[in-house]
Amino acid sequence: MKVHVDMNLCQSHGECVSIAPDVFELGDDDVLVWREEVSEDRRAAIEEAVNVCPMMAISIEDEG
């Protein structure tokens, strides 16, 4: 699956980082960076990150 973050919406609150630090990270400049390709076994954590994002900036694209 692919993880997308709309950087026009993201305000680097970091909620996603606390849920899935192996996927999301705040850089030195507090700008969010993330792994776009994520294995299916991380789906539950990524879905939780989508749900807790206060800006609704994260989405999942299923590959197939």
DSSP string, 20-63: -TTTEEE-TTS-EEE-SB--GGGHHHHHHHHHH-TT--EEEE--
What's the burial of 46, exposed, middle or buried (CB within 10 Å: 0-12/13-18/19+)?
A: buried
Confidence of residue 63 (pLDDT cuts 50, 70, 90): confident
Averaged over 40-54, what is the pLDDT?
98
Fold observed for domain 2-61 = Alpha-Beta Plaits (3.30.70)
Contacts of 10 (CB under 8 A, 6+ apart): 32, 53, 55, 57
* 64 has a pLDDT exceeding 80: no
Q: What is the mean pLDDT of the chain?
A: 96
Locate the domains of the chain by residue range: 2-61
